[in-house]
Amino acid sequence: MSGSFSDNPTIKQTKSNAIPEPKDIAELFPQLEILDVLGQGGMGVVYKARQKSLDRMVALKILLHDPQRDHGFAQRFEREARSLARLNHPNIVMIYDSGQAGDMYYFIMEYVDGSNLRQVMRSGSMEPADALAIVPQLCDALAFAHEEGIVHRDIKPENILIDKKGRIKVADFGIAKLLARSDIDYTLTAPQQVIGTMHYMAPEQFERPKEVDHRADIYSLGVVLYEMLTGELPLGRFPLPSQKVHTDIRLDRIVIRALEKETSRRYQQVTDMKTDVQLISNGSSTPISTIQTPLPSGNQFTPTPLPAQGATTGGYVPGQGKSPAVAYLLWCLCFLGACGIHRFYAGKWITGLLWVFTGGLFFVGQFIDLFLIPRMIYVANLESALLAQGNLLSQEP
């Protein structure tokens, strides 16, 4: 909590650091019937309310009082509120009104009857298919905001709402930027303070805050995707999604590209990430052609396009991996089969038949090998690339 409500003379309180009860702020919002507290976070308190004039449910967000708030905050709040009001999109929580009541700044927003993504993940009901259905909607919301010149800067499960019909709504667009203490005129790439939530923030938000742009949201979305797939955060030398759960191995590359440390190697537009995710969610076997993530220097291997989940490729099932010993065995079978055929045509009938029998069917082994070996090399190189970048992808405190 960046400030205490007890410092606010407008609010009657009985103990320090306590959030105001609905009855304590009712007189400041005569147009609303404030019903209950929906939640509290580092940026403010959200109440469930009824807008009397239209008889509709709304959410009232009161920004936390901050005694160190700069003098330009009121002007910045008005300017940013007008910008956020332009975000009229089905996957973005809409702002109906904003202003100042007493010493408090507030937003009256669309009420979403449902849960946030964090609650859904904690319930244990999240499946890979659910993650693939959620991400395109998040991409649509972010793409629309980015076109309007607005970066969220705090994409995390708590800010992703899911209503009772399964529709996704992104909340708190621009709030993190608004609460930064600065008189700077903010734009999409304007200088920023370090703002956001640990583990979901892009590296440049820590290291180069003046260079933060829309690609910071893409990084945060990559963290959320990984967490939805595996139930864990991508910290340190984290395992690939396909190693944690039975999912399409192509998702590994989507996650890695979204989590690239260097913004130039990351997805440049969130719509590209949406396209790649939809190729998988639609069951397409088409390779993800938009992904051209360069591997670390010294490794010039270009990954072979992978089949869709469940595709049969000579006994190889994506996500299950194979030991190098299997590859060696196949090469031995091919060698023995070739030797047997050679001896057979050389007139060594008995030994030739034994070699062929021992080596197995040479052409079948060769055919299987053509599919198996490249994919084993792909997995090995992909893991090596990830290990080389492990320290860069982690932002532990």
How does pLDDT run across 33-88, given as a tens digit for each residue? 999 999 887 678 999 999 999 999 999 999 877 766 767 788 888 888 888 888 99
What pLDDT shows up at residue 209?
Answer: 79
Weakest mean pLDDT among 149-158, 208-217, 380-389: 380-389
What pLDDT shows up at residue 191?
Answer: 38
Average pLDDT, stretch 325-330?
59
What pLDDT shows up at residue 314?
Answer: 33
Count, residues in the chain: 397
What pLDDT shows up at residue 368?
Answer: 56
Domain covering 5-110 in this structure, CATH number: 3.30.200.20
- Among residues 275, 145, 294, the alpha carbon closest in space to that of 214 is found at 145
CATH of 115-291, one of 1.10.287.3240, 3.40.50.11540, 1.10.510.10, 3.40.50.450: 1.10.510.10
pLDDT band at 207 (very low <50, low <70, confident <90, very high): confident
Question: 62 phi and psi, to 5 degrees?
Answer: -105, 125
Please pick, among 140, 154, 172, 276, the residue that the annotation labels catalytic. Answer: 154
Beta strand extents in 121-223 (DSSP E only): 160-163, 168-170
Facing residues of 313 across strands?
316
User: Which residues in 196-222 are b (16+ Cβ under 10 Å) and which e?
Assistant: bbebbbbbbbeeebeebbbbbbbbbbb
What pLDDT shows up at residue 112?
Answer: 96
Distance CA 301, CA 278 (A): 26
Instruction: Judge whether 130 counts as a catalytic residue.
Output: no
What is the domain partition of the chain in residue ranges? 5-110, 115-291, 324-381
- Amino acid identity, position 110: E
pLDDT band at 125 (very low <50, low <70, confident <90, very high): confident
State pLDDT tens for residues 338-380.
666 666 566 666 766 666 666 655 555 555 555 555 555 544 5
Tell me, yes or no, if the two domains 5-110 and 115-291 fold the same way: no
- CA dihedral over 108, 111, 112, 115, signed as positive or negative: positive
On whether the CB atoms of residues 267 and 259 are closer than 8 A, the answer is no
Average pLDDT, stretch 303-327?
39
Question: Structure tokens of 198?
Answer: 């640990």
pTM: 0.66
What pLDDT shows up at residue 53?
Answer: 95
What pLDDT shows up at residue 309?
Answer: 36
- Among residues 25, 5, 108, the alpha carbon closest in space to that of 65 is found at 5
Distance CA 19, CA 6 (A): 9
Facing residues of 170 across strands?
92, 160
Residue 5 to residues 26, 34, 63, 118, Cα–Cα distance (Å): 15, 18, 10, 26
What pLDDT shows up at residue 7?
Answer: 31
Whether the per-residue pLDDT at 32 is higher than 90: the answer is yes
Weakest mean pLDDT among 49-53, 101-105, 129-133: 101-105
On whether the CB atoms of residues 16 and 6 are closer than 8 A, the answer is yes
- Among residues of the chain, what percentage have pLDDT more than 70? 61
What pLDDT shows up at residue 192?
Answer: 40
What pLDDT shows up at residue 347?
Answer: 66
pLDDT band at 174 (very low <50, low <70, confident <90, very high): confident
